[in-house]
């Protein structure tokens, strides 16, 4: 039995499709949105539509940006000889918050997971290998999550890169097994980065 009108129910259903948003939270958000002034709701809707239409992958590191290159890749002060490989743009943001890493990144947009049908061709590995062809990269730091998928991806990347002659390291285990980088504090992330080991 439906308690609300079709428009409210439709909004709740759409919000509940967002990751991490259950039915109750979707309901709370829907009622909040409906209670706001029309111009404020329009700005929210416009910003969602504009972001979806204009955000694309950085041509260098594959993170999300609204320009050809993201601010990190276009920054001449970044050390292009070191590439940190992360699973998502959120992981990139987690390391950037430390303010200590001066290299550049490569965002895979996922991890290898045979159980979910995600193979090496489904993540941005080809683009990473193209970046290594320039000869300027001396180290690739693999900073995938400490999950089974993250470890599988790290080992695959290591085997892929070693023949190229580039040093491959893995972030240290200051990151707990099963932990997501975006939820870990800056000190732990720094310890993991400083304690990285060769693969």
Q: pLDDT band for position 1 (50/70/90)?
A: very low
Q: Mind listing the pLDDT tens digit for each residue in 41-66?
A: 999 999 999 999 999 999 999 999 99
Whether the per-residue pLDDT at 131 is higher than 60: the answer is yes
Integer CA distances (angstroms), 11 to 26, 52, 112, in order: 8, 18, 34
- Rounded mean pLDDT, 183-193: 72
**pTM for this predicted structure:** 0.77
Integer CA distances (angstroms), 21 to 17, 18, 40, 154, in order: 7, 6, 22, 30
Q: Mind listing the pLDDT tens digit for each residue in 61-102?
A: 999 999 999 999 999 999 999 999 999 999 999 999 988 999
Report how far residue 80's alpha carbon sits from residue 119's, in angstroms, rounded to the nearest whole number: 28
Q: CB-based burial of residue 198 (10 Å sphere; 0-12 exposed, 13-18 middle, 19+ buried)?
A: exposed
Report how far residue 195's alpha carbon sits from residue 142's, in angstroms, rounded to the nearest whole number: 12
Report how far residue 199's alpha carbon sits from residue 195's, in angstroms, rounded to the nearest whole number: 13
Centre a 10 Å sphere on the Cβ of residue 192 and count the other Cβ atoms it contains: 21
Sequence spans of domains, the chain: 6-54, 67-198
Q: Mind listing the pLDDT tens digit for each residue in 156-174?
A: 999 999 888 899 998 876 6
CATH 3.30.9.10 fits 67-198, yes or no: no
Report how far residue 88's alpha carbon sits from residue 103's, in angstroms, rounded to the nearest whole number: 17
User: Among the CATH numbers 3.20.19.10, 3.30.70.420, 1.10.8.420, 1.10.260.40, which is that of 6-54?
Assistant: 1.10.8.420
């Amino acid at each position: 039995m439906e308690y609300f009108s079709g428009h409210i129910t439709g909004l709740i259903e759409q919000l509940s499709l967002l990751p991490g948003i259950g039915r109750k939270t979707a309901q709370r958000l829907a009622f909040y949105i409906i209670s706001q002034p029309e111009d404020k709701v329009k700005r929210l809707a416009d910003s969602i539509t504009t972001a979806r239409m204009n955000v694309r992958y950085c041509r260098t590191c594959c993170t999300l940006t609204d320009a050809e290159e993201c601010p990190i890749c276009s920054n001449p002060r970044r050390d292009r000889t070191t590439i940190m490989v992360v699973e998502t743009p959120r992981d990139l943001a987690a390391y950037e918050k430390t303010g200590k890493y001066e290299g550049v990144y490569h965002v895979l947009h996922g991890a290898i997971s045979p159980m979910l049908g995600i193979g090496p061709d489904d993540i941005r590995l080809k683009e990473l290998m193209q970046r290594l062809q320039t000869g300027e990269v001396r180290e690739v730091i693999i900073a995938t999550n400490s999950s089974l998928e993250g470890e599988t991806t790290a080992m695959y990347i290591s085997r892929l890169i070693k023949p190229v002659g580039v040093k491959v390291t893995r972030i240290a285990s200051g990151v707990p097994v099963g932990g997501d980088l975006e939820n870990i504090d800056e000190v732990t992330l720094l310890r993991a980065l400083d304690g990285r080991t060769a693969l």
